[in-house]
Each structure stands twice: as C-alpha cells, then as structure tokens.
Amino acid sequence: MPEMKNCTCSCAKENDEQKYKKLAELMKQYKNSEGSLIQVLHIAQAIFGCLPLELQRYIAQGMGKPLSEVSGVVTFYSFFATRPRGKHVIRVCLGTACYVRGGKKIITRLEEILGVGVGETTKDGLFTFEVARCIGACGLAPVIMIDDMVYKQVKPEKLENILAQYN
C-alpha cells in the first residue's frame, strides 16, 4: 500500500502488521455489538491516520459487511479521510458566529501562509487545512482548532505565531 507509507500520524512507530493485528482484535470485540461500524472506523483512523480503500476492504471483511457499505459510510462523514492527512489538522470554524467575527479573513491568511487551499495538506506533511462547521465555542469567535486545541479570538496577524508552535 504505497499511500499508507506517507501516513504521518503519531502512531507511525508501529509497523503495518502490528496495526492490522490491533485492529483485527478490536473488530472482534465490536463485531457483535449492533451498529458499531462508525466506532470501528474512528478507531481504525486513530491507528492508521486515514482510511484508504485497502483498509476499508479489510474492515469490511472483519465486520462481515459489504465494502460498498463501509465505503459509503467513510465518504459520508467529514471526519473520515481516505488520503493521508498532515501531522496536525487545522480546522477553521466558519459557523455563523465565527463568520460574523471575521472567520473568512483567517481562511485567506492561512491560504497565504500555508500555500495550500482548504481541504489540502502542506507539502511537508505538517498541516492539513480544513474548514469546520460550528465547534461550539461561539462566545470566543472567531476560533480555529489545531488538533484538539481551540484558539480563541484569532486575528489573521496572530496566525504565524500560533503555527510556529507546531513542528
């Protein structure tokens, strides 16, 4: 699987074989629990970083479901990625509150700094740049989220300093 090699998630320390073994064991636990496909996909993405077609096929087999169903679910939800993501994921909130307080200016500035557009990953694999629907921190708008960390009242000129903390 050539595309897996570029996966830069934090679990890159484990080799593929270990990862598959881990996933297979987890799938055994979940297989009999009704409606757990989405939870399994969350886990798989945490282990592998993303969910390419090969992996979807493996999950389909493990869960005893057709590949079409697994693929259908993966492509439906925005949290699931089929291509490798950057080491850090930047999500700019464009919910109405953030929009009113200047979320769009943050997008423009980030495009300049990162040199990529929304939905893309920087060449060095450090950042994936996404837009989020409301993340529920409207009192602090505009906000961005990098991985699990929320940055409040972000101004375009603050962005470079924020990004400099990540490597």
Partner 1 sequence: MRIKNLEDLVKIKEEYNSKMAEYNYQILVCGGGGCVSSKCGEVKEALDRCLKGYGLSEKISVITTGCMGICALGPVVLIKPDETFYTKVTPEKIAEIVKSHIINGTILEKYTYYDKARQLYIPNINDIPFFKDQVKIALRNCGQIDYSSIEAYIAKDGYFAAAKALSKMSRQQVVEEIKKSGLRGRGGAGFPTGIKWEAGLKAISDQKYFVCNADEGDPGAFMDRSILEGDPHSVIEGMILGGYAVGANIGYIYVRAEYPIAVERLSTAIEEARRYGLLGKNLFSTDFEFELEIRIGAGAFVCGEETSLMASIEGRRGEPRQKPPFPFERGLFGKPTIINNVETLANIPPIIHKGAHWFSQFGTERSKGTKVFALAGNVVNTGLVEVPMGISLGDILFKIGDGIPQGKAFKAAQAGGPSGGCITKEFLNTPVDYENISKIGAIMGSGGLIVMNEDTCMVDTA
Q: In the complex with partner 1, which residue's Cβ is closer, 63 or 113?
A: 63
Q: Least distance in Å: CB of 120 to partner 1?
A: 18
Q: Which two tokens stand for residue 99?
A: 């929009």
61 near partner 1 (CB under 8 A)? no
Asked if 68 touches partner 1 (CB under 8 A), the answer is no
Pick between residue 10 and residue 79 the one whose CB is nearest to partner 1.
79
Contact status: 9 vs partner 1 (CB under 8 A) = no
- Find the binder of partner 1 among 96, 119, 123, 160 (CB under 8 A): 96
Residues 135-164, interacting with partner 1 (CB under 8 A): 135-141, 143, 148-152
Q: At what angle do helices 53-63 and 16-31 cross, to 10 degrees?
A: 40
Q: From the list 7, 23, 27, 37, which residue makes contact with partner 1 (rule: CB under 8 A)?
A: 37
# residues contacting partner 1 (CB under 8 A): 38
**Secondary structure of the chain as H, E, C letters:** CHHHHCCCCHHHHCCHHHHHHHHHHHHHHHHCCCCCHHHHHHHHHHHHCCCCHHHHHHHHHHHCCCHHHHHHHHHHCCCCCCCCCCCEEEEEECCHHHHHCCHHHHHHHHHHHHCCCCCCECCCCCEEEEEECCCCCHHHCCCEEECCEEECCCCHHHHHHHHHCCC
Among 11, 28, 78, 115, binds partner 1 (CB under 8 A): 78
Q: What residues line the site for partner 1 (CB under 8 A)?
A: 34-39, 41-42, 69, 72-73, 76-80, 95-97, 99-101, 132-141, 143, 148-152
